[in-house]
């Protein structure tokens, strides 16, 4: 099959592209290589895909907000499925640039759906986020929970994308699967995310900023488990469906720091700050639907995943 992976030069996208190539598929990646973090890092993320894929891999530098460019890139292409991972990511940066997040995430998704619908592509897997749950008093979070109170521009943009997915399924009969990711980590994690940022600061002997008292809890999910869940979504039709992809266990922030200290062999210097707007106290995935319909079985717990991440971070030969 021929897959289009948007955002395929990013953290999750590059792992997805590699998995598809290992499974024998053709892969085209669209990515704008924006400067949210160093584009050279994103280009390096594609190294394995280039080596694995050969003529089965094709990269196009492309901005999804440029509708004519999308039309041109899709001209003459036949994509069997689309895995849409491209987005402006992160809760805190979205507080500073809310219009940018809406333009890239919402307008970009509309442009993609419109362009590929006209080419005859019928199956899409679209990335959403656990942030759509907002401050949800009920845990673990279920796909059936009401989600009408996002608390960041990023969360609102992902909620809008879920709505667009339903619209395109309803109006045009597209097969749309939404996947809500829960705090993904592992090799190639973005440098702005907590695990990568903390590891870098601990290694340098610099203070790490901790917002709040360290009691916030996240459902940290290893990237290999996320990729397995995404692959399962490509294997059959679901009409319109939403799946949580998480580890279904929570880890306190101070416990996470402890795991990093052990793996790095260094003590963290903690710099306390007050809690930030847009942050939620807990994320916790109910994965029973994904277990039942995708046979989703995450296997990498935090005590195993953090040392794997640190191996990659330190450039050890055993890195995945």
Q: What is the pLDDT of residue 317?
A: 56
pLDDT of residue 215: 85
pLDDT digits (tens, 9 = 90+) for 254-306: 999 999 999 999 999 999 888 777 677 888 999 999 999 999 999 999 999 99
CA distance 177 to 84: 10
**What pTM did the predictor assign?**
0.94
Query: What's the longest Cα–Cα distance across the chain?
Result: 55
- Cis peptide upstream of residue 140 (ω within 30 degrees of 0): yes
- Per-residue pLDDT band for 320 (boundaries 50, 70, 90) equals very low
Is 172 known to be catalytic? no
Q: Find where tokens 């994103």 sit.
A: 42
Helices (H), ranges, the chain: 11-22, 39-45, 47-53, 67-74, 91-96, 98-101, 108-119, 153-172, 194-204, 223-233, 253-264, 288-294, 302-313
Q: What are phi and psi of 178, to 5 degrees?
A: -100, 135
CA dihedral 46, 47, 53, 56 (to 10 degrees): 50
179 has which bridge partners?
Answer: 127, 243
**What does each C-alpha distance from 52 to 26, 56, 159 come to in angstroms?**
11, 9, 35
pLDDT at 123 over 60: yes
Residue 154 has pLDDT above 70, yes or no: yes
Structure tokens at 301: 């717990």
The answer to whether 153 touches 98, Cβ cutoff 8 Å, is yes
CA distance 110 to 61: 19
- Reply yes or no on domain 2-184+222-248+283-299 having CATH 3.40.50.720: yes
Report the SS3 class of residue 222: strand
Which one-letter DSSP state was computed for residue 131?
A: G
pLDDT at 200: 96
Q: How far apart are CA 259 and CA 269, in angstroms?
A: 14
| pLDDT (0 to 100) of residue 282 | 86
With a cut of 50, say whether residue 244 has pLDDT above it: yes
Over the stretch 131-146, which tens digit does the pLDDT of each residue have? 999 887 788 999 999 8
Element (H, E) at 176: strand 175-181
What percent of the chain shows pLDDT beyond 70? 98
pLDDT at 318 over 60: no
Task: Give per-residue burial for 224-243: e unless 16+ CB within 10 Å, then b.
Answer: bbbbbbbbbbbeeebebbbb
Considering only CA atoms, which of 228, 224, 240 is closest in space to residue 296? 228
Task: Kindly report, residue by residue over 39-76, the tens digit of the pLDDT.
Answer: 999 999 999 999 999 999 999 999 999 999 999 999 98
> Which run of H or of E encompasses 27?
strand 26-31
pLDDT of the residue at 278: 64
Split at pLDDT 50, 70, 90, the class of 319 is very low
Q: Quick check: bond before 222 cis, omega within 30?
A: no
| Cα four-point dihedral sign 150, 151, 157, 158 | negative
Beta bridge partners of 273: 211
Catalytic residue among 133, 154, 168, 296: 154
User: 């210097």: which residue's tokens?
Assistant: 269
Quick: pLDDT tens for 178-226: 999 999 999 999 999 999 999 999 999 999 999 888 888 999 999 999 9
pLDDT of residue 212: 80
């Amino acid at each position: 099959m021929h897959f289009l992976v948007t955002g395929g030069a990013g953290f999750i996208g590059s792992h997805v592209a590699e998995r598809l190539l290992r499974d024998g598929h053709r892969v085209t990646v669209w990515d704008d290589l924006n400067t949210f973090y160093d584009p050279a890092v994103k280009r390096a993320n594609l190294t394995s895909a280039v080596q694995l894929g050969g003529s089965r891999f094709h990269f196009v530098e492309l901005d999804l907000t440029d509708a004519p460019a999308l039309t041109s890139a899709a001209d003459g292409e036949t994509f069997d499925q689309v895995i849409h991972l491209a987005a402006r990511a992160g809760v805190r940066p979205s507080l500073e640039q809310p219009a940018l997040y809406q333009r890239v995430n919402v307008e970009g998704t509309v442009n993609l759906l419109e362009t590929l619908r006209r080419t005859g592509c019928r199956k899409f897997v679209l990335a959403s986020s656990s942030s759509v749950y907002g401050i949800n008093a009920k845990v673990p979070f279920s796909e059936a929970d009401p989600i009408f109170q996002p608390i960041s521009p990023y969360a609102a943009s992902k909620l809008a994308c879920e709505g667009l997915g339903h619209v395109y399924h309803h109006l045009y009969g597209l097969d749309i699967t939404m996947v809500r990711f829960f705090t993904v980590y592992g090799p190639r994690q973005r440098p702005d995310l907590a695990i990568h940022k903390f590891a870098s600061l601990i290694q340098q002997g610099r203070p790490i900023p901790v917002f709040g008292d360290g009691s916030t809890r996240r459902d940290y999910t290893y990237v290999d488990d996320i990729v397995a869940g995404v692959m399962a979504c490509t294997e059959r039709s679901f009409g319109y469906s939403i799946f949580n992809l998480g580890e279904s266990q929570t880890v306190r922030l101070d416990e996470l720091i402890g795991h990093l200290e052990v793996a790095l062999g260094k003590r963290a210097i903690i710099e306390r700050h007050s809690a930030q707007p847009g942050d939620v106290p807990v994320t916790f995935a109910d994965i029973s639907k994904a277990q039942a319909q995708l046979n989703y079985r995450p296997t990498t717990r935090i005590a195993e995943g953090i040392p794997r991440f640190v191996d990659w971070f330190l450039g050890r030969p055993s890195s995945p």
